[in-house]
Amino acid sequence: MKHLLKMLDMSQEEIIDILNLADQLKYELKHGIPHPMLKGKSLGMIFQKASTRTRVSFETGMYQLGGHALFLSADDLQIGRGEPVEDTARVLSRYIDGIMIRTFAQKEVEDLAEYGSIPIINGLTDLSHPCQVLADLMTIREFKGSFDGLKMCYIGDGNNMANSLIVGGLKVGMQVSVACPEGYRPDPMVMDFAQKDPGFSITDVPLEAAKDADILLTDVWASMGQEGEIAKRRIAFAGYQINDEIMAAAKPDAMVMHCLPAHREEEITAKVFEEHAKEIFEEAENRLHAQKAVMVRLMAD
């Protein structure tokens, strides 16, 4: 694995390897065992979308691994004033050891990988959110013990989270059911991949998707950059909420996850959120451990 661009690029073996290393790094951190695996290394973090979890977890992760992280907002870079991505990639490759980018277009991430000579990590694009889904898979395995025989259900917008959860869930062997309204389905490239797998199903009936689910996931109805569509989306997604009715359709011991930030009483009720806060905030913490594993695999000598 040279880069982490999208879940579609990863094999099952690569995913499991990252999760195993993340478990190890989490154990070592909790027990005060140093792991300076990236001593002397630098990670450039390009942000064209704002962030809480992504910035703090990558910056802290690099520090814990003995390296250094540089925060690079679009306003601080020539890329924000029209310098081609390919030139930025070639320049930064001569200064630092890896780039994490959080941006809108998947093409920017792919171009950095094509023209640069250092590892590129997708911190989020409109297509994919692989770092979050690796943390999600880590959390599922922590709570459930393994992926064998599990059904994962996603309810809501067919956005970057849906795209990445579908691919990641199927690649580790889970059944994946999705409930999205017409017009808000996952990316066609993801649908082409998923519909070849007998473990995948998609519907516009949330209760149908949630039936006998072991894991329920959702995300905000309007992602960053879609603020102008909020009123329209509230109408389209009415009924696509994780609530007591949905929980009753899932298995009694179903876990609930949310990538955050959560809009209570929209995609999830406050009641369900608080009842499953343990899983949700463990999931948030696991961003740190999963991303450290990614950085070690891509950037360690």
Q: Is 55 a catalytic residue?
A: no
The catalytically annotated residue of 55, 258, 276, 287 is 287
C-alpha closest to that of 58 among 15, 122, 112:
122
Other CB atoms within 10 A of residue 10 CB: 21
Calpha distance 270→275 (Å, rounded): 9
Dihedral sign, Cα of residue 13, residue 212, residue 269, residue 201:
positive
Alpha helices in 116-174 (DSSP H): 130-144, 160-171
Number of helices (H), then strands (E), in the chain: 12, 9
Would you say the CATH fold of 132-285 matches that of 3-129+287-299? Answer: yes
Q: Is 259 a catalytic residue?
A: yes
pLDDT of the residue at 301 = 86
Residues comprising the binding site for L-ornithine? 160, 219, 223-224
pTM over 0.85: yes
**263 an active-site residue?**
no
So what's the pLDDT on residue 218? 98
In this structure, whether the domain defined by 3-129+287-299 belongs to CATH 3.40.50.1370 is answered with yes
Strand order from edge to edge, sheet including 200-203: 200-203, 175-179, 151-155, 215-218, 255-258
pLDDT-flagged residues of the chain (< 70)? 79-81
- Helix, strand, coil shares of the chain, percent, nearest 5, are 50, 15, 35
CATH of domain 132-285: 3.40.50.1370
Q: Which of 132, 175, 241, 291 is catalytic?
A: 132
CA distance 141 to 19: 9
Q: Which of 48, 259, 276, 291 is catalytic?
A: 259
Domain boundaries, the chain: 3-129+287-299, 132-285
Active site residue 132: yes
HSE (side-chain half, CA atoms, 13 Å) at 260: 18
Note the pLDDT of residue 253: 98
Annotated catalytic residue within 3, 102, 233, 289: 102
Of 87, 109, 84, give the one whose Cα is nearest residue 99: 109
CA nearest neighbour of 281 among 265, 257, 263:
257
